[in-house]
Chain A
Amino acid sequence: MARLEIRNLVVSVEGKIILNGINLNVDGGETHAIMGPNGTGKSTLAAIVMGHPKYKIESGDILLNGESIINSTVDERSRKGLFLAMQNPVEVPGVTTFDFVKTAVSARLEKDQRLRVGKFIFQFEDAAKALKMGSNLSERYLNQGFSGGEKKRNEILQMALLKPQIAILDEIDSGLDVDMLKLVGENVTKMKSQTLGLILITHYQRLLDYIVPDYVHIMIKGDIVKTGGKELIKKIDNEGYDWLKTELGIDELEEKTTQYSLGNCANSLFGEGHH
């Protein structure tokens, strides 16, 4: 059974600590939701697990199926069974969605295996149909000219075809209208199995109405500060995070700003005393 373990993970970017000793275990068959105010490190956590080179692991470890992956490259992590549905999927002009997904699926095969393209075409078309992506998806350039909702559904399509062991969905609900949210929720729920561990990063209850989590974690200031069940979602939706900050004695999340003086350009330009 798949298992992702994040152990005392401390991470920095440009010398600044942004994750403060995170611990999280996700087993196959489990669905974990991570919620929290803006700028608390939720998406950073997702990017680090996937191996984004921008971040530096100061201490701690990430294990997939008992094996440390912190020295694995991004593509190795993917081939080992990790998947990240991104908040802002990039556009790749000139590369068709079909060619991209086909290359990604082929990259997972053993050296002596070859992709059966005919069978794969049917699988691709079925997945596209299930997500209402339109019949010409295969010919469309990857994410180019896609609406926000189409980009998110395209992430789920890739997840369906790549069949990961642990999938992290980073704000998959943003850009989706109510109908499409339901559709994505149904598709992801269909993929749930004893072999798939899910991490949902979200701000809103509405996604979790369709993909029901087993555990809810709240992240504040780079750390998971509370873990509970579904009851936490409703409380956050009704009351926000202030009660939790009070309960745990966490200071307000101050926005770090730098003040700049505009000087007296206006006076110089328009002459003294001109306002």
Chain B
Amino acid sequence: MTGAVQIDNLTVRYAGATALDDVTLAVAENEMTALIGANGAGKSTLVKALCGLIRPDSGTITVHGRLAHVPEGREMFPDMTVDDNLRLGAWRRRRRDTAPIYDLLPDLAAIRSRRAGTLSGGQQQMVAIGRALMADPEVLVIDELSLGLAPMIVTSLVGHLRNLHATRNLSVLLIEQNARLALDLCRHAYVLESGRIVLHGPAATLARDPRVTAAYLGGHVTVTP
């Protein structure tokens, strides 16, 4: 199986401080891969490097296909309508018809004319996912899907994500502080600490690893099949 994303020996420094240190990570094609880690571990730096928003000091990043990004904090265009937010997601494409997104995420159709800044956090996250899908990506990078959202909203978003993954053959890199969610949802996972990958492997295996359960799962293991 070829990789959708291959990151090799990636190092990023900010003003002398090393944010990412020799990171190697792969996202397999049509699979969901998790990157978990605490605040300040370097997750956002890795996302920015992967999306081309910062230049790494060394290492290589290879992406097969189009990559789209659901950024941390949703990052709406608050004064624009949902429909305009979606259209801008396809900025690099010629085709900017939003109808297919309303078919995929019907909840968005009812709020298409509302200003994004007036939506709830869950609705904004849905718009952020829809906006990323407008780029017709093969690889989707989702930065903190669950951040600041109620558990019920997160469950609904996860349902949508599972459907999208199943129907669109998306390769997904899910960056999450909520390790339980990430390990439940993904097949493979990486653990980032202080800019280094300290553990990686099948998510089910990592979920049973005492170092992961102690640090990220509160000492309990609940992985659904």
Q: Are A and B co-members of a single complex?
A: no
Query: Chain B: residues with CB nearer than 8 A to chain A?
Result: none
